[in-house]
Amino acid sequence: MEELMKELEKEGAIEMMEQFEMNDQELEKELDRMLELFKQLEVEAGMEQQIEKLEKLAEEQEKLSEETGEEKKETEEHEKEQEELNEKFDDIQKEMDELQKKNEKLERPKDKEGADEQMEKIDQDMQNSKEQIGQKQNKSASKSQKSAAQRMKDMASKMSEQMQAGEMEQMQEDMAMLRQLLENLVTLSFDQEDLINEFSATEVTTPRYVGLVQEQFKIKDDFRVVEDTLHALSKRVTQIESFVHEKVSDIKLNLRKSLEQLEERNKVVSSDHQQRTMTYLNDLALMLSEVMNQMQQQMANMMPGSQNCNKPGGAGAGKGGKSGKVPMDKISQGQKDLNGEMQKLSEQMKKGDKGKMSKEFAQMAAKQAALRKALRELSQEKKEQGKGMPELDGISEEMNKIEIDLVNKRLNNETLKRQQDITTRLLEAEKSERQRDQDEKRQAETAREQKRSMPPALEQYIKQREAEIEQYKSVSPDLKPYYKFLVEEYYQSLKNPN
């Protein structure tokens, strides 16, 4: 008994040490990830600051160009102001050089193509303007200043476009990698489930048992590839948080424990670890699926005219604005526009390299994601109103297939045919919805005069009263004028009881 207790204590101590070691590895990876994300954020923030400084300096240079051309100030004052602007631009150049060094240290540097050449041209224009002011050539100086201002605006605009295009392209690649990860995780989960069933039906003394243990080793090796890919992806995707890595550690731990128990021919304990492995694989897949949804939403928000998914492809809320949902006609139009864009891109692909069209694929994938989400929300709203349209669910599934093709840069005849079919089905659904709304409206009718009948009991009572009055009228007593007047009033009151 004492030996057993010692053995258990020894195993517990070993497990605790292994857990500490795994925690250290997990912490090291998390620090590595956070450091890379910080570097990326630093470069992106620096580029945004330089864009703002260039735009502001361009405005100041343009203003000075107007003043120089109109000769509103003394030459010395113009020269002094130009010198100050030159110094500001020199500071921007130094900061850009520092930013470039930080950019080169990134695992995936940002695109800054053409920036150095543009900076040299701006610097040359500004130096020329200063010399021309000193030579009192104000007209020429004004043109040089205006040229420098325009170059600064162009450079700021190009940097901004490069940032957005680079971000879209990277996000597209990351989403493709994430989709592949999800497929691999689901496959591993099914493989693990099949393996659990195989072990339960296999005796530990059979050759088949050894083969199954080898398959369990293969699952462990395959997951190592998933882990490495996920770690590389987490350095670029901020939505992948630390708890994802914690789940990875849980999977690794249970895979190792299950193999240890299998080698000891302890199927009962190993089965528990295998079940945990399968559960954690499913949990990780759900986490990454949520990350995918967040990335799709982010891509949709980055699209011009699609700051929210209620405006796919730049379409406004239209007549559906009251409920916050995009009406069917706007979704149909958005899908039709996307169809046209895909047709044009298909023609371009026949002439050029598909690899150079990453930005276009990313933009169209974001538009398709926005349209799919808008259609799903509209379908849900219809169901809540008791006006469900089952055909919308099928269209949404086809949209998702289009989205997958675009993310993976697949644009073939099948994709285009599916896109055309979606557009046709949306138009049919729109027509069906319009007809149903018209049927539900009440048709206006001209007012008709209705004959009002008197209740029989009331009619009989009135006849009796009239007979009594006639009876009183038939008697003609000899009365004085005053009393005759009172009798007439009485008759009148009988006729008009009210």
Q: What is the DSSP string of 125-180?
A: HHHHHHHHHHTT-HHHHHHHHHHHHHHHHHHHHHHHHHHHHHHHHHHHHHHHHHHH
C-alpha to C-alpha distance for 331 and 320, rounded to whole angstroms: 11
The pLDDT assigned to 316 comes to: 38
The pLDDT assigned to 272 comes to: 92
- Please list the ranges in the chain whose pLDDT falls under 70: 1-25, 72, 301-326, 352-359, 362, 407-408, 437-462, 464-498
CATH number for the domain running over 38-165? 1.20.120
Which residue stretches of 303-452 are H helix?
328-351, 358-384, 391-407, 413-440
| Beta carbons within 8 Å of 290's beta carbon, 6+ residues apart | none
- Tell me how far apart the terminal alpha carbons of the chain are, to the nearest angstrom: 112
Question: For the chain, what are the domain ranges?
Answer: 38-165, 170-302, 312-439, 463-495
Same fold, 38-165 and 170-302: yes
CATH superfamily of the domain spanning 170-302: Nucleotidyltransferases  domain 2 (1.20.120.330)
**Residue type at position 136:** K
Q: Residue for token digits 């005053």?
A: 482
| Beta carbons within 8 Å of 142's beta carbon, 6+ residues apart | 65, 66, 68, 69, 129
What are 171's two structure tokens? 């996000």
pLDDT tens-digit readout, 29-72: 777 777 888 888 888 888 888 889 888 988 888 888 888 887 76
Which residue, among 117, 128, 193, 99, has the nearest Cα to 155 in the 3D structure? 117
The pLDDT assigned to 372 comes to: 82
What are 148's two structure tokens? 């420098």
pTM of the model: 0.50
> Cα 313–315–319 angle (5° rounding)?
150
The pLDDT assigned to 7 comes to: 47
Q: How many residues does the chain have?
A: 498
pLDDT tens-digit readout, 237-292: 877 877 787 888 899 999 999 999 999 999 889 999 999 999 999 888 888 888 88
Q: Is 26:245 a contact under the CB 8 Å cutoff?
A: yes
- Reduced to 3 states, what is the DSSP secondary structure of residue 73? coil
The crossing angle, in degrees rounded to 10, of helices 138-200 and 391-407 is 110
| Beta carbons within 8 Å of 474's beta carbon, 6+ residues apart | none
